[in-house]
Structure 1
């Protein structure tokens, strides 16, 4: 269908209004002779509007005479008619062609340069370095070497870790990724445990430094040590060639503690809970769009109303006001204020959600509450909703949302080695 319409536009088509008593016969005879009619619209009992290609207009005259009908061309569309109109308006055609050529020529240049991704570096500094490599407003796109601009930005600005230059139309976008300076760890070199930041069921323990204190399947509470920063090692006394006296036992191995900063990842299953409720019917307040404005001048404690009401003319309303004061003069405060008070009318509307509608709203509130508790990077493995029943019918729907996640629950907790020794 689309190809036929496109073909008809290229060859040209017209809209006809056909008048006669045998319009159905007219359409059927045209179809039987291979004449394609489309957008057939009945205007009245004896009139119909159709579209047909230019080449099929002449054969339709014979069909019109055979069916005692007549038609009139009411609209001409397509490429041939446009060309004919252009021939009559040569200056307009020349101007249109000149405009298109000029537009194409101007679109071959760069006119706008945008910089994104920069935080500490200024746009002007980046554009200056890019201009040294040939990227400036007005440069032809065929003379622009995007790779050279990227290399120049990385070489001339040490704080740039990566640069990308993208050309789209007459706009060039420079994307910058700055080097992130490593922040010094405040606990670097200090003995520390990794403890549980929240309760959970251990699923995976990966120790990079320290000694694991939990294993998969263990339940931990907030503050429980997951990876200890104290590594206990047994020191076995050196053996001597001399035999021990009779009755004397060899010395027992001694335990020595070595203190490190524990490092590792401890993932656990963690459960979150959210609650939401919604009434089946409730009264809502909303602005009606009506408002009254009151302008007043205040001198000290006295107030004069210049225009508008002295108080709100509405029963339910919201009040907004702006205050303008005179500027100070030589540290003297002039106690004059211009107050503009807007009274916005509110109307109360009774809304009935129904039990199912209230249930959906309560579910949404419960999920919003529980989603607000989820930390970034937590992997959600289950979501569950339950309706709370209190044992009696009420005009309120209560829902609870339960979400189970797998996340890293370890947080670093420094300690003093001397205190740990005493423990």
Structure 2
């Protein structure tokens, strides 16, 4: 008795009949529970009854030679019916995602990156012998163990790195190489590879072609491939170091007043599948950010878009702070492009304001470095 509601439902039926009142009297006489009646016109009514009484209504309408059609339904019985119609689609979608997720736990491709001495085919066979092949579970892959075993069995491998990216196992190999043969030194002159002011010249062979303090242009001779006395000079392969002051100009615009957009730490994300170019969202961002940064991350199965909220924050810097911060940032940027022996020995600084709350910092960096091109040119 407590579960009778599971079989209950109600339907709304539009009945077209010459005498609607007679139909209602017949239904009441048969103890049909008429839940609601609405007259549409003189010969049409909409009757709401329980689903169990539908056959009685149908029989009564046919006897009176009327017409009827169902215009609405409700209740648990019909809810279950509608759910059954869509259940296959829902179950199919869930199974599809489960299968994709399960397949993503395997490695389906082994990508080998070698250079000259190690054959990818040979390395693939060695990986196969230790159980590493397409179809292996990711959890069964121990990158450190793979690296050690391959380095032990292949004498041409200096070191090996194994990384799982998506459903691909990527193998990177650094090969052992024989030391290069000593090259014969070439005759000629050494020239400057950039402009600069000569500070020191160390001619290990050959002789200096310019004095200290000279402003030199790129391509001019700095070490001659000649040695010996002036009366009896002889040619020899030049070699040396030429230290010179070189010049790099950089500038930066810095906001010192007003407002700027900065990240607040709040974030949200979309997660979706990309199937034949169509996005199927598993999760949609719900936070409404007025300003945001967006980063897209593409995977083998799931794709993600991360949103970082940004808000306007006041900016108030002194000119001195702005200049100091700019010089430091520009210097760090320059050092990334210089060789290790290069040293910043001086800075020439100019500043100007643009009238819009910004300051433009221009810096000429004086860098001491070796400017010699070690490839000799003809005399």
Name the TM-score, length of structure 2 as normaliser.
Answer: 0.44
